[in-house]
Amino acid sequence: EEEALIKAEKLSIAGQMAAGIAHEIRNPLTSLKGFSQFLKSKTSNYHEYFDIMLTELDRINAIVQEFMALAKPQANQFKSHDLVDILESVHTLLETQSNLNNVQIVTGVNSDHTRISCDENQLKQVFINIIKNAIEAMPGGGKVVINLHSKQAGVVMIQITDQGVGIPSELLDKLGGPFFTTKSSGTGLGLMICQRIIQAHQGTLSIESELGKGTTVTIELPIHCSNT
Ligand code: ADP
Ligand code: MG
């Protein structure tokens, strides 16, 4: 048992160090980006190379940012929250991005029990990642439907469905693995972070998809607190 404790402590130190290193990487990155932008503005040549450099710097920045989020969730702050409120604030956060992409987000509540014990910020992170993926899967716009059900006692089910490009069945297994992405500027960390967070909440996350039709992400979470 003591060994397990030491192991946990070592892990949390490793996590803290990783978060610290990630934080330190951001400063030189910001200065590289600034100088690249400056040099691009000073020359009429090589613009396409500067654009590639800037895109790649943004990618490193996104990876570092998501990595910091990944190293952080050690300090879970479990409190009673209403999923409807959490989804509403995520909706507000993503409003600009969804409007710009002609995407409508619709939420349906078919469950009496929507209050759960959770870390609010971590769950927000999960919904943001999944809804962002849904928006990115519909380049021509469309609908994201979020549904809350209670099919099973003590469990709330959240389904997020898009009408996007879908995922080839041979790729479904690879999702959630680190750095698996099909996007030119993706990090491939979003779903892995979602899986980790849902696991820490004793829940499950699964993905169903039909090519050319759309994708449904299903999350099941235990209701620790009753709605009384
Ligand atoms: P990223 O979005 O940075 O690529 P994610 O871990 O969020 O990383 O997603 C990994 C990959 O899973 C994506 O690159 C994409 O191929 C696929 N994917 C995830 N969600 C969807 C979706 N709703 N529709 C189609 N493909 C998806
Ligand atoms: Mg993503």
Q: Output the pTM of the full model.
A: 0.79
How far, in Å, is the centroid of ligand 2 from the Cα of 185?
A: 10
- Per-residue confidence (pLDDT) for residue 10, from 0 to 100: 60
How far, in Å, is the centroid of ligand 2 from the Cα of 130?
A: 7
How far, in Å, is the centroid of ligand 1 from the Cα of 66?
A: 14
C-alpha R_g of the chain: 20
| Surface-to-core class of residue 137, CB atoms within 10 Å of its CB (0-12 exposed, 13-18 middle, 19+ buried) | buried
Nearest CA to ligand 1 atom 14: 181
**Residue 226 pLDDT more than 90?**
no
- Nearest ligand to the CA of 137 is 1
- Per-residue confidence (pLDDT) for residue 63, from 0 to 100: 80
* Residues contacting ligand 1 via CB (< 6 Å): 129, 133-134, 137, 162, 164-167, 175, 180-183, 186-191, 215
Confidence at 110, pLDDT banded by 50, 70, 90: very high
Nearest CA to ligand 1 atom 23: 134
- Per-residue confidence (pLDDT) for residue 75, from 0 to 100: 62
The distance of Cα 177 from the centroid of its chain, to the nearest Å, equals: 13
Query: Could you identify the atom of ligand 1 that is nearest to the CA of residue 162?
Result: 23
Confidence at 217, pLDDT banded by 50, 70, 90: very high
The mean pLDDT of the chain is: 88
Express each pLDDT in 173-199 by its tens digit: 888 887 889 998 888 889 988 998 999
- Nearest ligand to the CA of 62 is 1
- Per-residue confidence (pLDDT) for residue 176, from 0 to 100: 82
Percent of the chain with pLDDT over 90: 58
- Per-residue confidence (pLDDT) for residue 228, from 0 to 100: 38
Strands 155-162 and 103-110: unpaired
How far, in Å, is the centroid of ligand 2 from the Cα of 9?
A: 30
Express each pLDDT in 43-83 by its tens digit: 999 999 999 999 899 888 888 877 776 666 556 788 999 99
Element (H, E) at 107: strand 103-110
Query: Could you identify the atom of ligand 1 that is nearest to the CA of residue 185?
Result: 3
**Residue 86 pLDDT more than 60?**
yes
| Mutate-to-test residue for ligand 1 from 125, 191, 194, 198, highest number of ligand atoms within 8 A of CB | 191
Mean pLDDT for the stretch of residues 113-129:
92
Q: Whose CA is closest to 174, among 154, 160, 195? A: 195
- Nearest ligand to the CA of 194 is 1
**Residue 90 pLDDT more than 50?**
yes
| Surface-to-core class of residue 205, CB atoms within 10 Å of its CB (0-12 exposed, 13-18 middle, 19+ buried) | buried
Express each pLDDT in 135-164 by its tens digit: 999 999 999 999 999 988 899 999 999 999
Percent of the chain with pLDDT over 70: 89
Looking at per-residue pLDDT, the higher value among 63 and 221 belongs to 221
Looking at per-residue pLDDT, the higher value among 125 and 216 belongs to 216
Express each pLDDT in 4-14 by its tens digit: 666 666 656 76
Please identify every residue whose CB atom is under 5 Å from ligand 2, which is an ion: 133, 190
Nearest CA to ligand 1 atom 7: 190
